[in-house]
Amino acid sequence: MTEESPVNMNIVETTKTRVKNCIFCNVIAANDPNIILEPRSDQFVIIKDIKPVATHHFLVLSDKHIKSSKSLQPNEQDRNLLKSMVAAAKQILLNNGCDLNDMRYSKSYVIFIIIFIFMSCCFVRMGFHWPPFYSIGHMHLHAISPASSMSAFNRFVAFNPSFSYVFVDVNYVLKRIGCKDENETESPSSVNKQ
C-alpha cells in the first residue's frame, strides 16, 4: 500500500492506492461482483447504497482514494474522472428505468408552497455531501431517483442542493473544477465498461 503524498493529504496520487481503514477502499479492493455493479472502469466502481434514501440510490466511488469532491483540482485528470463518474451514474440510473429528464431543480424562492410542490416531484438527485457533512472520507457521487420516494428530511435537507450546504449538485463541482456545463460530460453509452 502506498502512503499519502505529503504535498496534498486529501489525494493519494497512484491509481490503485488504498487506505487501510477506509471502508470504500476495502469494498473496491474486494472486487466482489455481488456488490460492485456495471458499468465500471479503472477510475470508479458503482455500488448500491446500503442505506438507500430512495427507490434507486447508487454510489459511484472513485477508484483512487480522494477524501472528498472538495479535494478535486481544476486539472484535466480530475475533470475527466468526474465526467466519467457522472456518465456512469447516468447510465446506472437509465439501466434502472429512471428518467434523466427529471434532473432539474427548482430555483424559485417566491412562494414556499410552490417550491414545496416542485421539490416533491420525481427529480433525480446527483451530487456530493460537502465537507464537513459526509460520513465516509472517500469521494463518492450519489445518484438518487425518484426524489419523491425520499423522506421529507432527505428530500429537503440531507440531499437537497437548492436549500442546503450539506449536499451539492454535481454541476457545482463540475463548474468548480473548470467544466463549463454538466452537458460536457460523456454520454452514458460512452462509459468504459471493463
- Amino acid identity at 125: R
The residue among 97, 174, 90, 92 whose CA lies nearest residue 128 is 174
Tell me whether residue 140 is one of the annotated catalytic residues. yes
* CA dist list (Å): 138 to 12, 17, 59, 60, 116: 11, 12, 11, 11, 32
- Amino acid identity at 55: T
CA 75/CA 4 separation, integer angstroms:
19
Q: What is the DSSP letter of 101?
A: G
Catalytic-role residue among 56, 65, 138, 140: 140
Grid cell 458499468 is found at 39
Active-site residues, by number, are 140
